[in-house]
Amino acid sequence: MTTLQETIIPTKRVRRITVLISGSGSNLQALLDSTSTSRLPNCQITYVISSRSNAYGLIRAKNNKPFSIPTKICSLKTFQNKNKNSTREDYDCEISRLILNSKPDLVVLAGWMHILSDKFLQILNGQIKPPLSPTLPPPPSSSTTSTEKEIQLPDLNDLKISDNDKIEKTSSSSSFKGEQVKITSNEEKEESNFPEPPLHQSFPIPIINLHPALPGQFDGANAIGRAFEAFQKGEIKNTGVMVHRVVAEVDRGEPLVVREIEIKKEDKLEDLEARIHEVEHQIIVEGAKLVLEELDKEGRP
Protein backbone atom coordinates (compact mmCIF):
# COMPACT_ATOMS: atom_id res chain seq x y z
CA MET A 1 0.00 0.00 0.00
CA THR A 2 1.38 3.35 -1.04
CA THR A 3 1.31 6.21 1.46
CA LEU A 4 1.56 9.85 0.61
CA GLN A 5 4.41 11.69 2.29
CA GLU A 6 3.72 15.26 3.25
CA THR A 7 6.25 17.74 1.94
CA ILE A 8 6.62 21.00 3.79
CA ILE A 9 8.09 23.85 1.78
CA PRO A 10 9.54 26.49 4.08
CA THR A 11 8.43 30.04 3.40
CA LYS A 12 11.02 32.78 3.16
CA ARG A 13 11.08 35.18 6.06
CA VAL A 14 10.23 38.77 5.17
CA ARG A 15 13.49 40.70 5.35
CA ARG A 16 13.87 43.73 7.62
CA ILE A 17 15.61 46.95 6.52
CA THR A 18 16.88 49.75 8.74
CA VAL A 19 17.50 53.07 6.97
CA LEU A 20 19.79 55.89 8.16
CA ILE A 21 19.01 59.42 6.96
CA SER A 22 20.03 63.01 7.58
CA GLY A 23 17.84 65.06 5.25
CA SER A 24 14.81 65.16 2.99
CA GLY A 25 14.48 61.39 2.73
CA SER A 26 13.66 61.26 -0.99
CA ASN A 27 15.67 58.06 -1.32
CA LEU A 28 13.93 56.67 1.76
CA GLN A 29 10.67 57.41 -0.04
CA ALA A 30 11.87 55.49 -3.10
CA LEU A 31 12.52 52.48 -0.86
CA LEU A 32 9.16 52.82 0.90
CA ASP A 33 7.35 53.00 -2.45
CA SER A 34 9.13 49.89 -3.72
CA THR A 35 8.79 47.47 -0.79
CA SER A 36 6.27 44.69 -1.32
CA THR A 37 6.43 45.28 -5.08
CA SER A 38 8.39 43.41 -7.74
CA ARG A 39 11.07 46.10 -7.49
CA LEU A 40 11.82 45.19 -3.87
CA PRO A 41 9.81 42.12 -2.88
CA ASN A 42 9.57 40.21 0.40
CA CYS A 43 11.00 42.95 2.62
CA GLN A 44 9.92 45.87 4.74
CA ILE A 45 11.52 48.96 6.22
CA THR A 46 11.11 48.52 9.95
CA TYR A 47 13.18 51.37 11.43
CA VAL A 48 14.51 54.79 10.42
CA ILE A 49 17.33 56.56 12.28
CA SER A 50 18.00 60.24 11.61
CA SER A 51 21.05 62.26 12.62
CA ARG A 52 19.02 65.47 12.39
CA SER A 53 15.83 66.39 14.20
CA ASN A 54 14.53 68.50 11.29
CA ALA A 55 15.03 65.84 8.60
CA TYR A 56 11.92 65.68 6.43
CA GLY A 57 12.51 61.95 6.07
CA LEU A 58 11.02 61.64 9.58
CA ILE A 59 7.74 63.00 8.21
CA ARG A 60 7.88 60.54 5.31
CA ALA A 61 8.30 57.65 7.75
CA LYS A 62 5.48 58.95 9.93
CA ASN A 63 3.11 59.35 6.97
CA ASN A 64 3.89 55.98 5.42
CA LYS A 65 0.82 53.91 4.54
CA PRO A 66 -0.72 51.62 5.65
CA PHE A 67 1.26 52.19 8.86
CA SER A 68 3.97 54.48 10.15
CA ILE A 69 7.60 53.44 10.37
CA PRO A 70 9.23 53.74 13.84
CA THR A 71 11.87 56.44 13.92
CA LYS A 72 14.68 57.54 16.20
CA ILE A 73 16.51 60.87 16.25
CA CYS A 74 20.12 60.52 17.32
CA SER A 75 21.96 63.78 16.82
CA LEU A 76 25.73 63.85 17.32
CA LYS A 77 25.55 67.28 18.95
CA THR A 78 22.77 66.27 21.34
CA PHE A 79 24.53 63.03 22.20
CA GLN A 80 27.76 64.85 23.02
CA ASN A 81 25.92 67.50 25.05
CA LYS A 82 24.30 64.79 27.16
CA ASN A 83 27.53 62.81 27.47
CA LYS A 84 30.22 65.41 28.09
CA ASN A 85 33.19 63.07 27.95
CA SER A 86 31.99 61.08 24.95
CA THR A 87 33.89 60.66 21.71
CA ARG A 88 32.75 60.42 18.13
CA GLU A 89 33.36 56.67 18.38
CA ASP A 90 30.97 56.54 21.36
CA TYR A 91 28.30 58.10 19.16
CA ASP A 92 28.88 55.49 16.48
CA CYS A 93 28.55 52.76 19.12
CA GLU A 94 25.20 54.24 20.12
CA ILE A 95 24.06 54.16 16.48
CA SER A 96 25.18 50.54 16.20
CA ARG A 97 23.24 49.65 19.37
CA LEU A 98 20.09 51.22 17.93
CA ILE A 99 20.57 49.32 14.68
CA LEU A 100 21.05 45.97 16.41
CA ASN A 101 17.94 46.57 18.53
CA SER A 102 15.96 46.86 15.28
CA LYS A 103 17.23 43.39 14.19
CA PRO A 104 17.81 44.24 10.52
CA ASP A 105 18.84 42.03 7.64
CA LEU A 106 20.16 45.07 5.77
CA VAL A 107 21.22 48.61 6.67
CA VAL A 108 20.87 51.31 4.01
CA LEU A 109 22.60 54.68 4.29
CA ALA A 110 20.27 56.96 2.31
CA GLY A 111 21.76 60.42 2.68
CA TRP A 112 23.45 59.73 6.02
CA MET A 113 25.92 62.59 6.51
CA HIS A 114 28.34 61.07 9.05
CA ILE A 115 31.38 58.96 8.25
CA LEU A 116 31.11 55.76 10.29
CA SER A 117 34.06 54.58 12.36
CA ASP A 118 35.94 51.29 12.20
CA LYS A 119 34.40 50.29 15.54
CA PHE A 120 30.90 50.73 14.11
CA LEU A 121 31.78 48.41 11.23
CA GLN A 122 33.34 45.88 13.59
CA ILE A 123 30.13 45.77 15.63
CA LEU A 124 27.91 45.25 12.60
CA ASN A 125 30.32 42.66 11.24
CA GLY A 126 29.94 40.74 14.51
CA GLN A 127 33.62 41.09 15.43
CA ILE A 128 32.99 42.88 18.72
CA LYS A 129 29.94 43.39 20.94
CA PRO A 130 28.20 46.77 21.14
CA PRO A 131 27.37 48.60 24.35
CA LEU A 132 24.07 47.48 25.84
CA SER A 133 23.13 51.04 26.73
CA PRO A 134 24.33 54.55 25.89
CA THR A 135 28.01 54.95 26.69
CA LEU A 136 27.32 57.50 29.40
CA PRO A 137 24.08 58.09 31.35
CA PRO A 138 22.18 61.35 30.81
CA PRO A 139 22.63 64.10 33.42
CA PRO A 140 20.64 63.56 36.65
CA SER A 141 18.39 66.49 35.82
CA SER A 142 17.06 64.78 32.70
CA SER A 143 13.47 63.54 32.84
CA THR A 144 11.85 60.57 31.12
CA THR A 145 8.34 61.88 31.77
CA SER A 146 6.25 61.95 28.60
CA THR A 147 5.03 65.42 27.74
CA GLU A 148 3.16 66.97 24.87
CA LYS A 149 3.17 70.46 23.44
CA GLU A 150 2.15 72.11 20.22
CA ILE A 151 4.26 74.62 18.33
CA GLN A 152 3.68 76.73 15.24
CA LEU A 153 6.16 75.54 12.63
CA PRO A 154 7.26 78.44 10.38
CA ASP A 155 9.65 76.45 8.25
CA LEU A 156 11.03 72.91 8.06
CA ASN A 157 14.58 74.18 8.60
CA ASP A 158 13.55 75.84 11.85
CA LEU A 159 12.10 72.63 13.29
CA LYS A 160 13.93 71.57 16.44
CA ILE A 161 12.94 68.31 18.09
CA SER A 162 14.78 66.73 20.97
CA ASP A 163 16.00 63.16 20.95
CA ASN A 164 13.32 60.55 21.76
CA ASP A 165 10.70 62.75 20.09
CA LYS A 166 8.30 62.01 17.26
CA ILE A 167 6.59 64.30 14.79
CA GLU A 168 2.86 64.28 14.24
CA LYS A 169 1.16 66.51 11.67
CA THR A 170 -2.07 67.97 13.05
CA SER A 171 -3.04 69.98 9.98
CA SER A 172 -4.79 68.54 6.96
CA SER A 173 -3.00 70.98 4.67
CA SER A 174 -0.62 69.47 2.16
CA SER A 175 1.86 72.28 2.75
CA PHE A 176 4.39 71.66 5.49
CA LYS A 177 5.08 75.31 6.26
CA GLY A 178 2.90 76.76 8.96
CA GLU A 179 1.45 73.43 10.05
CA GLN A 180 0.74 72.67 13.67
CA VAL A 181 3.17 69.99 14.80
CA LYS A 182 2.62 67.93 17.93
CA ILE A 183 5.79 66.74 19.63
CA THR A 184 5.35 63.69 21.81
CA SER A 185 8.17 62.12 23.80
CA ASN A 186 8.99 58.43 23.57
CA GLU A 187 8.37 57.69 19.90
CA GLU A 188 8.89 53.93 20.01
CA LYS A 189 6.01 52.05 18.32
CA GLU A 190 4.46 48.62 18.41
CA GLU A 191 5.99 46.19 15.93
CA SER A 192 2.84 44.17 15.33
CA ASN A 193 2.65 45.42 11.75
CA PHE A 194 6.19 44.37 10.91
CA PRO A 195 7.77 41.06 9.95
CA GLU A 196 9.06 38.88 12.75
CA PRO A 197 12.77 39.39 13.48
CA PRO A 198 15.15 36.45 13.25
CA LEU A 199 15.59 34.39 16.40
CA HIS A 200 19.31 35.14 16.30
CA GLN A 201 21.04 38.06 14.60
CA SER A 202 23.19 36.89 11.70
CA PHE A 203 26.52 38.57 10.99
CA PRO A 204 27.89 40.36 9.14
CA ILE A 205 24.96 42.71 8.63
CA PRO A 206 25.36 44.12 5.12
CA ILE A 207 25.54 47.92 4.91
CA ILE A 208 25.13 49.78 1.62
CA ASN A 209 25.54 53.45 0.80
CA LEU A 210 24.37 55.68 -2.02
CA HIS A 211 27.06 58.03 -3.36
CA PRO A 212 26.58 60.53 -6.23
CA ALA A 213 29.82 59.83 -8.07
CA LEU A 214 31.51 57.14 -10.11
CA PRO A 215 33.78 54.64 -8.30
CA GLY A 216 37.06 56.25 -7.36
CA GLN A 217 35.89 59.79 -8.11
CA PHE A 218 34.88 62.56 -5.71
CA ASP A 219 34.78 60.57 -2.51
CA GLY A 220 33.18 62.26 0.48
CA ALA A 221 31.02 65.36 0.71
CA ASN A 222 29.78 67.69 -2.07
CA ALA A 223 30.49 65.13 -4.79
CA ILE A 224 28.01 66.64 -7.28
CA GLY A 225 29.36 70.17 -6.87
CA ARG A 226 32.94 68.99 -7.26
CA ALA A 227 32.05 66.98 -10.37
CA PHE A 228 30.28 69.98 -11.90
CA GLU A 229 33.31 72.18 -11.21
CA ALA A 230 35.64 69.57 -12.74
CA PHE A 231 33.45 69.49 -15.87
CA GLN A 232 33.63 73.28 -16.15
CA LYS A 233 37.43 72.99 -16.09
CA GLY A 234 37.37 70.33 -18.81
CA GLU A 235 38.70 67.64 -16.48
CA ILE A 236 35.78 65.20 -16.91
CA LYS A 237 33.00 64.64 -19.44
CA ASN A 238 30.56 62.64 -17.32
CA THR A 239 29.84 61.87 -13.72
CA GLY A 240 27.68 59.19 -12.14
CA VAL A 241 26.10 57.64 -9.10
CA MET A 242 26.62 54.31 -7.35
CA VAL A 243 25.43 52.04 -4.58
CA HIS A 244 28.35 50.39 -2.82
CA ARG A 245 29.11 48.28 0.23
CA VAL A 246 30.31 50.27 3.23
CA VAL A 247 33.91 49.66 4.31
CA ALA A 248 36.36 51.62 6.44
CA GLU A 249 37.61 53.67 3.47
CA VAL A 250 35.08 56.39 2.62
CA ASP A 251 33.05 55.57 -0.53
CA ARG A 252 35.55 52.86 -1.52
CA GLY A 253 33.49 49.73 -0.89
CA GLU A 254 32.60 47.25 -3.62
CA PRO A 255 30.28 48.95 -6.16
CA LEU A 256 27.01 47.06 -6.53
CA VAL A 257 25.14 49.30 -8.99
CA VAL A 258 26.78 52.05 -11.09
CA ARG A 259 25.19 54.52 -13.51
CA GLU A 260 27.07 57.03 -15.64
CA ILE A 261 25.36 60.39 -16.03
CA GLU A 262 25.98 62.91 -18.78
CA ILE A 263 26.88 66.49 -17.94
CA LYS A 264 25.58 68.85 -20.60
CA LYS A 265 27.20 72.13 -21.64
CA GLU A 266 24.03 74.06 -20.87
CA ASP A 267 23.61 72.46 -17.44
CA LYS A 268 23.39 74.49 -14.30
CA LEU A 269 24.36 72.77 -11.08
CA GLU A 270 20.67 72.38 -10.21
CA ASP A 271 20.03 70.59 -13.52
CA LEU A 272 22.78 68.07 -12.82
CA GLU A 273 21.58 67.54 -9.25
CA ALA A 274 18.03 66.82 -10.45
CA ARG A 275 19.27 64.32 -13.06
CA ILE A 276 21.44 62.54 -10.49
CA HIS A 277 18.68 62.38 -7.85
CA GLU A 278 16.31 60.79 -10.35
CA VAL A 279 18.80 58.00 -10.96
CA GLU A 280 19.55 57.67 -7.24
CA HIS A 281 15.92 56.81 -6.57
CA GLN A 282 16.21 53.92 -9.01
CA ILE A 283 19.53 52.40 -8.05
CA ILE A 284 19.11 52.52 -4.27
CA VAL A 285 16.20 50.12 -4.77
CA GLU A 286 18.24 47.96 -7.17
CA GLY A 287 21.14 47.80 -4.73
CA ALA A 288 18.93 46.82 -1.79
CA LYS A 289 17.24 44.11 -3.86
CA LEU A 290 20.60 42.73 -4.99
CA VAL A 291 21.90 42.37 -1.43
CA LEU A 292 18.68 40.80 -0.13
CA GLU A 293 18.71 38.29 -2.99
CA GLU A 294 22.28 37.38 -2.04
CA LEU A 295 21.18 36.71 1.54
CA ASP A 296 18.48 34.34 0.27
CA LYS A 297 20.96 32.53 -1.97
CA GLU A 298 23.33 32.12 0.96
CA GLY A 299 20.49 30.60 2.98
CA ARG A 300 20.79 33.36 5.59
CA PRO A 301 18.05 32.72 8.19
If one counts every other C-beta atom within 10 angstroms of the C-beta of residue 210, the result is 22
- Beta-carbon contacts of 189 under 8 Å, excluding residues fewer than 6 positions away, are 68, 70
Active site residue 277: no
How does DSSP assign 58-126, residue by residue?
A: HHHHHT-SSSPPPEEE--HHHHHHHSTT--HHHHHHHHHHHHHHT--SEEEESS--SPPPHHHHHHHTT
Q: Could you give the CA distance from residue 176 to residue 154 in angstroms, rounded to a whole number?
A: 9
Active-site choice (114, 211, 244, 277) = 211
3-state secondary structure of 270: helix
CB 107 within 8 A of CB 124: yes
HSE-CB at 63 with a 13 A cutoff on CA atoms is: 15
Question: What beta strand segments (E) does the chain contain?
Answer: 15-21, 43-50, 71-73, 106-109, 148-152, 165-169, 180-185, 207-211, 238-245, 255-262
The catalytic residue positions are 211
